[in-house]
Structure 1
Amino acid sequence: MLRWIVAVWLLWAERAAGQALRYSSYLDPERRFHLAWDYNATHIQLEYTAATRGWLALGISPNGGMNQSDVIFAWIDDTTGLPHVQDRWIDVGSSGVNPTLDDKQDWTLVSGKQNTTHSIVRVARLLTTCDPRDRPFTNDTMRIIFAANPRDPAGEAAMIEQHSMRGTKSVVFFTDAFLTERAASILGGGSLLQMDVRVDNVPIPTGIDTSYHCKLIKLPEVNKKYHIIGVRPLIQRGNEHIVHHVVVYYCDSTVNDTVTPKEFECAGDNVDEEAMMNIAVHCHSNVLAVWAIGGSDMYFPPEAGLPLTPEMSDRFVMVEIHYDLSMRTDQADVQDSSGMSFILTEQLRPNDAAVLSTGTMDFNFLITIPPNVDDFVVSSYCHTQCTSMFPADGINIFQSFLHAHTHGRKIILRHIRDGKELPPIGKDDAYDFNYQESRNVQPYRTILPGDTLKLECTFSTAGMSKPAYGGFSSHDEMCLAYLTYYPATPLASCGTNVNFTNYYTTINYTLPAEYSLTDYRSIQIATKDFLNSQMQWDTTSVQTLQGFYNGDTSSECVTIDLNRTAIPTPPLEYTPYDDPATRMCPNLTPNQPSQRLQAEPPRKPAPTAANSTQHSVASITTAGGNLVSVIVILLLCVCQRI
């Protein structure tokens, strides 16, 4: 069997050696390092280019650092022109960085060359080698480290001179996000239109770490049905480091021209609570599109598109932008005009698509993650009563977007049918807050009426002396998944609410008698003060709280017209999924990565036309010019924001 796999790989490698690889990305903003790749069911090829005539290195890291990294080390000999490739492993000890040669050299050289400024090597390897000093290629977010030096090493076993350039980048290898000809291959030919929805010169506040800005935007009038088949982020150039996410919601008919205000703060210290209660609640249940930091364009498969119909003419969408200001050092006046661009076609797909959100529905202290823990799990359910709204032959999920904040370490969306867990719909065991990419679900996953979805987020507060809480700030937490699917159904969201009374019983705290249950701010201050300064956080209290989140809860189904159904939900019993990947290397004792991941700072994408600042007018355009123009009005959503 092994000989057959090797033979097939050699044939694939030989045929692919001279071919362009399908996926590619620059690794650094200066574009000195570039990575291209391709893969089949068993192997991966990498083509690594660096602006050097000396050695170049590319590694898979557990956390963005060098320790415990699996490294490709290469150079092109300046005298002979021959390429050299080595499989190495880095241990950082008291004597410093030690990139030692692996006993088993698993990377195979395909080709290598250099010119007067750059070196390039192409190598190939099994996706999973079962070598304890090789990290497998998986669907998880993978931290890539890269480095170079202007000089070749003195020999195969010579001491390696320290790098002169280095960096780190998160990459998901098995996604269409990095297809070199992605837009052309997915959108195809035909006449395409573009509809931009964006805010207009929003002043970015200073002195706070989180701002949510909301604005209502009126849809253009159309006289026939279109399908949205692509969504592109429009992030204002220069603001890439503060725009954390953009969400666009479709509002119900109660949001009309008479509604005011059209623009307001929708979370944080400056939240307009009246606008949230009177306006945003009429939009938040129907998500059109989601983008978050690190993400790229999103395209729909040929089977489906989001509908834009004459009945939707003159209705409002709501744009929500989360500005993460926690790392901002300047206090200069900054404005923003970010948003999203929707690509439309009049060549209708067979099905209408929709977005289903699932996860925790409490964005407050009721989600409490104890201090100094590495693996605290918060779960939520999309109940069988919710999925019973699906048609008899189910819905087909083709894209998933998993979301947590800075304490998130792992996210998995489980799929359970008749008491048996099926393969996960979405899974990331190395979640990176600064790299949130929608991922294709291949093959499409069918969810039948009566199935259950269970979303689990694993959080780490290692080194913290106080708990983390649910909330909207990047330092608060969420646990959400957005699923794009077809055919569209009335179900907009499903998830779990924490039982208020049982929560206080679990933490053994009684609110002062004078507090009204409607006095949310006072309740939050008193509860957090108790948990931060009086609660005895030890193994017993942590396990008790973990048991609470694993125990009885309440699920909720929300339809696009805001009908809500609450369902008491006991712990779900099911047979766990037996992942064949866990049996591939039965004798392997893996090197354990650090639990506290080192998130790389947000990177500014290369300038594109889509990043340029534009005025706040939403429009549908073709290459020939405007078809329809509409004034941008704004609003944000009350709930289910990321």
Structure 2
Amino acid sequence: MFALIRLYIIIFLFEYTLSEDILLPSFLTSNQSFSSSTTSLYLCHVHQLNNSKEFFLQGYNIVNGGNTSYVHHLLLYECSIKDKLIYSGLCGMYSVRLMPRSVYHNCQTRIIIAWAKGGQLKYDYPIDTGLQITSYTQLLLEVHFESMIPSNHSIGVHLRFYPKDIKPQYEIGVLTLGTLARSPLFLPPRLNQIRFPTYCVNDCLKYYLQNNHTMNIFSILVHAHKRATRIILKENNFNRLIDRNPFEFHRQEIVYYNKPYPQINSSSELSLICYYSTENDYSKGIYGGHDSDDEMCQAFLYYYPKIESFPLCLSIPVYKNKNILNNNQNWSLKRSLLINNQLELNFNHLKTLQYEVSREAAT
């Protein structure tokens, strides 16, 4: 009898589970001036949720996931403003001036969903956890296409909510680690291995994890581009949370953890280390940037309980001699090794960026 009642309850909840699709408008993906571009292209769309009260996100699916061969990444941001925003168009590093300032400053900060090439098309949060969506929430969908866009490409996200009036025990958050998308990262050519570390320092975690607050990490997505070969995330320089070895650009899957989940507290310090190979680059070094032929080093930590004012903890490289970071020179293996040694020997070349919300957190 109890099993039958439980079955009816499950069926009832399943039937009344709420959902909503957030898709790029068809007029964007069918615009020939966009799709004929020979470089990477970012398209964004602000979506208004029609909630009369708060909901909790239970999971999501990538819509039209079987047609993602031209998609570099997909991000969903939560806007930090109640005023109604309207925008559908170009965005990203090279189109910032085309975006309304209100959208750029208020919507490209807190990432709540991150998907990259080759990742899973369905994602479920752990039982008793959910991501809160308020009655005034606005979401910005950002899709990075590579080289071209298939006409009428309906890429987007299908959000799955808990039924009304069901509030999970824990609210989840997403913490972005690594570097800014436009960081002054520089990789000399002709080298088999280059090690690039970034940090979320203890001072940062101590500030946000006060009063014995502990972050329970239940999944992690690491992200880099074509020259990345390995990515490691360590806590306190010895507890290895993740080691993607080898890192595969076309297979950027989220790593899930089983209970008991890894924990981070005020005594922790995080190191995200990306390894690259430029052995097939002969004539120029590689800079940090958005495109697949540029490089970056980032990680997205899914955790609970959420810390409202802590969406990112980034660091940026600060080089003593910026004159060596250019391609106006004749490259040789000897020169590349010399420059790389200077970069690696400068142990203090990374400084912690502001912990507060930064509009440049977008990848």
Please say whether Structure 1 and Structure 2 have the same fold, judged by a TM-score greater than 0.5: yes
The letter of the residue matching 2:341 is Q
Matching residue of 2:35: 205
Q: Which runs of 5+ in 1 are unaligned?
A: 1-187, 510-526, 565-637
Match for residue 18 of structure 2 among 193, 204, 209: 193
Is the 8 Å Cα contact of residues 188 and 336 (structure 2) preserved in structure 1?
Answer: no
Indicate yes or no: 2:232 matched with 1:435. Answer: no
Q: 1:478 aligns with which of 296, 317, 340?
A: 296
Letter in 1 for 2:169: P
* 1:170-189 equivalence runs, <5 A: none
Which residue of the partner structure matches residue 556 of structure 1? 353
Pairing 1:245-260 to 2, within 5 Å after superposition: 245-253=73-81, 256-257=83-84, 259=85
Give 5+ residue unaligned stretches, structure 2: 1-9
> Of 339, 345, 363, which aligns to 2:162?
345
1:543 aligns to what SS in structure 2?
Answer: helix
Aligned to 2:88: 263
TM-score by structure 1 length?
A: 0.49
Q: CA deviation at 1:268?
A: 5.2
Aligned to 1:461: 278
Distance 1:544 1:280, change over 3 A: same
| Poorly superposed stretches of 4+, deviation over 6 Å | 532-536
TM-score normalised by the chain length of structure 2: 0.85
> Of the two structures, which has the highest relative contact order with CA contacts closer than 8 Å and spacing of 6 or more?
2
Say whether the 8 Å CA contact 2:191–2:336 is kept in structure 1: no
Distance in 1 separating the partners of 2:157 and 2:300: 17
**Counterpart of 2:42 in structure 1: which amino acid?**
Y
Instruction: Please tell me the root mean square deviation across aligned C-alpha atoms, in Å.
Output: 2.5
Q: Which amino acid aligns with 1:318?
A: L
Q: Is 1:279 equivalent to 2:103 in the alignment?
A: yes
Corresponding position of 1:214: 44
Q: Residue 285 of structure 2 contacts residue 327 of structure 2 at CA under 8 Å; is this kept in 1?
A: no
Q: Please tell me the residue identity of whatever aligns with 1:426.
A: I
SS at match of 2:299: strand
Please give the secondary structure, in 2, of the residue aligned with 1:484: strand
The Cα offsets for residues 191-216 of structure 1, whole Å up to 9 and x where unpaired, read as 32212111111234224130011111
Alignment of 1:70-469 (within 5 A): 190-191=13-14, 192-201=17-26, 202-203=28-29, 204-223=34-53, 225-235=54-64, 239-253=67-81, 256-257=83-84, 259=85, 262-267=87-92, 269=94, 271-273=95-97, 275=99, 278-296=102-120, 297-308=122-133, 312-325=134-147, 334-346=151-163, 347-364=166-183, 366-388=184-206, 389-391=208-210, 392-416=212-236, 421-442=237-258, 443-465=260-282, 466-469=284-287
In structure 1, how many angstroms separate the alpha carbons of the residues matched to 2:100 and 2:335? 35
CA contact (8 A) 2:217 2:301 kept: yes
Give 3-state SS (helix, strand or coil) of 1:508's partner. helix
Structure number with bigger Rg: 1
CA distance in 1, matches of 2:330, 2:177: 29
Distance in 1 between the 2:41 and 2:18 partners?
A: 32
Paired with 2:317 and 2:100, the residues of 1 have a C-alpha distance of 21
Identity %: 22
Question: Cα deviations across residues 8-27 of structure 1 (Å, max 9, x unaligned)?
Answer: xxxxxxxxxxxxxxxxxxxx
Distance in 1 of aligned mates of 2:339 and 2:69? 38
Shift of 1:546: 2.5
How many residues are treated as equivalent by the alignment?
Answer: 338
CA displacement at 1:533 relative to structure 2: 7.1
The 1:253–1:532 alpha-carbon spacing in structure 2 relative to 1, beyond 3 Å, is: farther
